[in-house]
Structure 1
Amino acid sequence: MARLLIVHHTPSPSVQGMFEAVVAGAGAEEIEGVEVVRRAALAATPSDALAADGYILGTPANLGMMSGALKVFFDLAYYPCLDSTRGRPFGLYVHGNSDTAGAIRGIESVVTGLGWSQVTPHVSVTGEPAKADLDACWELGATVAASLM
């Protein structure tokens, strides 16, 4: 069975809503043969990343960057995963109060170095997530999970 690892930092109701939509999409009944594993960014380990076949990353944009929690995950997992996870699919959702560009740019730099493959457009939301934003998060979860079927 393929394993999808969702690494997330969900400190606010807005990010929590996005996370829940991603999880619902990844676990849609049409998705078969994919185990969805959720880990808070500060609890996710290099072993979790190595055991996964694909990834979804979720973070708020804090001071124009990814959250420190997601950065800690990358700091711990980068070198152990560098040669072993190339080509694996990933998706990304980011929430910011006013801007997400710096956070997305930072994450893209890391996943480019890891050689991960973006399989769906990033979901970037500023302000309160609207229904269309949550639908996009659901679609992100479903798309990344389906890529592992």
Structure 2
Amino acid sequence: MRQLTVIAHAPSSNLSALARVLQEGAAQADISVSVLSPLEADANAALNADALILLTPENLGYMSGAMKDWFDRIYYPCLDHTQGKPIAAVVRAGHDGTGTQQALKTITTGLRWRWVQPVLLLRGDWQADFIQQAQQLGEAMGYALEQGMI
């Protein structure tokens, strides 16, 4: 069974809800889905996944420190073994989110991972439709992985 791993830094109830619906959406497909905190995940999370979804808040115009720490720890162990890895990301941004988006793209370009969905930027004050948008992204990734499209 194909494996989708969500690396989710979810220190708030809203981010936890986003992580949950990413998992629920993806699990509608016939795949295995796991959600890991970047603090508990290691290189095996990326090495063993067929695709990844990254979830991070925007902190001071950048990804969370926990997500950056994960990238620091997995970069070299994954560099030559995960090229072409299909990925998507959700950025929960109280402001603009473009700095976080650019940082994710810079690091993942270095890893030679492959973006299969645009970064989902959830900007500004919390909105109820953020849940639906995240669930739809999870569904799209799950079904694409199940069907061998990614």
Structure that is richer in strand per residue: 1
**2:32 is aligned with 1:35:** yes
**2:93 is aligned with 1:96:** yes
Match of 1:50 in 2: 47
The answer to whether the Cα contact below 8 Å between 2:10 and 2:16 also exists between their aligned partners in 1 is yes
TM-score normalized by the length of structure 2 = 0.91
Offset at residue 13 of structure 1 (A): 2.3
The answer to whether the Cα contact below 8 Å between 1:89 and 1:144 also exists between their aligned partners in 2 is no
TM-score normalized by the length of structure 1 = 0.91
Instruction: Give the SS at the match of 2:58.
Output: strand
The answer to whether the Cα contact below 8 Å between 2:55 and 2:89 also exists between their aligned partners in 1 is yes
Offset at residue 147 of structure 1 (A): 2.3
Match of 2:12 in 1: 12
Offset at residue 139 of structure 1 (A): 1.4
Of residues 14-23 and 44-53 in structure 1, the stretch that sits farther from structure 2 once superposed is 14-23
Offset at residue 38 of structure 1 (A): 1.0
Match of 1:62 in 2: 59
Of the candidates 111, 114, 117, which is equivalent to residue 117 of structure 1? 114
Offset at residue 128 of structure 1 (A): 3.6
When the two chains are superposed, the root-mean-square deviation of aligned CA atoms in Å is 1.3
The answer to whether the Cα contact below 8 Å between 2:23 and 2:34 also exists between their aligned partners in 1 is no
How far, CA to CA, are the matches of 1:86 and 1:73 in structure 2?
Answer: 17
What are structure 1's unaligned runs of at least 5 residues? none
Of residues 130-139 and 35-44 in structure 1, the stretch that sits farther from structure 2 once superposed is 130-139
Task: Count residues in correspondence.
Answer: 146
Of the candidates 77, 82, 87, which is equivalent to residue 80 of structure 1? 77
Write the deviation string for residues 117-148 of structure 1: whole angstroms up to 9, x where unpaired.
Answer: 11112211123432332221111111222222
Write the deviation string for residues 4-63 of structure 1: whole angstroms up to 9, x where unpaired.
Answer: 1110101122222222221111111xx11x110111010000112111111000000000
Instruction: Give the SS at the match of 2:95.
Output: coil
How far, CA to CA, are the matches of 1:122 and 1:129 in structure 2?
Answer: 17
Of residues 77-86 and 55-64 in structure 1, the stretch that sits farther from structure 2 once superposed is 77-86
What are structure 2's unaligned runs of at least 5 residues? none
Match of 1:106 in 2: 103
